[in-house]
Amino acid sequence: MNKTILITGATSGIGRASAYLFAKHGYNLILTGRRLARLEEISEELRQSHKVEVHCLNFDVRSFEECAQGFDKVKHIPIDILLNNAGKAKGYDPIHEGKIAHWEEMIDTNLKGLLYMTRLVSPGMVELKSGHIINICSTAGKEEYLNGNVYCATKHAVDSLTRALRIDLHKHNIRVSQVAPGHVEETEFAKVRFDGDESKAKIYEDFNPLRSQDVAEAIYFAASRPSHVVIQDILMMGTQQANSNTINRSGRN
Ligand code: NDP
Ligand code: 8X3
């Protein structure tokens, strides 16, 4: 029987690339996001090209009620993998000029959304004594950078929660992994951070960052290890990036 992965934030970027890769490997998919038309378009394409089952759940992860109503539609399906991917940075301001709405959006999406989905999906995994939770962290969860303040704090919280979930869940035979990428293009991350300002969002032109596919492959690697192996943490960057604060921006290699 095909395995099933639930991917939050599957309408673009890393989540979308992961949906394509897991479908290629024969996984059935439960794809979530707020943009229903995109979810339906991706689902139809994957059903056709890979003959897998795809369910779309259209909700905002910031609301526990919406998460619960969405999850209710698929709760009869055993979920093998939960990919907690939905997330974002909003703004790039020093702390004394930060916008409260940006802070709330990041905390509610990156932290509470991950917690809500984990709370809903993990009991089924505990019952089956089987499952894998994979969180998308960031280099921002390992090291702070100028004007990254609240985004970095949410990703440090993800880093901490990944370890905490593993402590709570390993005795139930549930694996908990994390992938922590540096800059990733072929995503809407920068566009979202800068409220759609295309010129500010041009942050990848002078170096060669990761692509969303590179991250999807790391996620798939963690997911496809034998059941006695857990990949705890994958920290990955483009070759021209050494850490959050050190990037060779002398042009694309
Ligand atoms: P994208 O903006 O391309 O994708 C983000 C996804 O999250 C979208 O599918 C979006 O769907 C979903 N999402 C955002 N807000 C909500 C919400 N409130 N409710 C439900 N879904 C939501 O960015 P990335 O692919 O880059 O981001 C994926 C993850 O990777 C994030 O956690 C991000 O922090 C992390 N990351 C990104 C890096 C990068 O450089 N790009 C580097 C390191 C980590 P929709 O808008 O349809 O709801
Ligand atoms: C995304 C990478 O450096 O923009 O998490 O925070 S960074």
Ligand 1 site, residue 183, Cβ cutoff 6 A = yes
* Exposed/middle/buried for residue 49 (C-beta within 10 Å: 0-12, 13-18, 19+): exposed
Coil, helix or strand at residue 12: coil
Ligand 1 site, residue 178, Cβ cutoff 6 A = no
pLDDT single digits (tens) 55-104: 999 999 999 999 999 999 999 999 999 999 999 999 999 999 999 999 99
Q: What residues does ligand 2 touch, defined as CB less than 6 Å away?
A: 89, 138-140, 148, 151, 182-183, 244
The pLDDT of residue 162 is 99
Q: What are the structural domains, with CATH classification, of the chain? A: 4-236 (3.40.50.720)
- Distance of alpha carbon 189 from alpha carbon 205, whole angstroms: 15
pLDDT single digits (tens) 187-215: 999 999 999 999 999 999 999 999 999 99
20 is catalytic: no
Torsion sign (Cα): 48, 51, 55, 56: negative
Q: Using 50, 70 and 90 to split pLDDT, how confident is the model at 1? A: confident
**Catalytic, out of 20, 27, 92, 151:** 151
* Exposed/middle/buried for residue 205 (C-beta within 10 Å: 0-12, 13-18, 19+): exposed
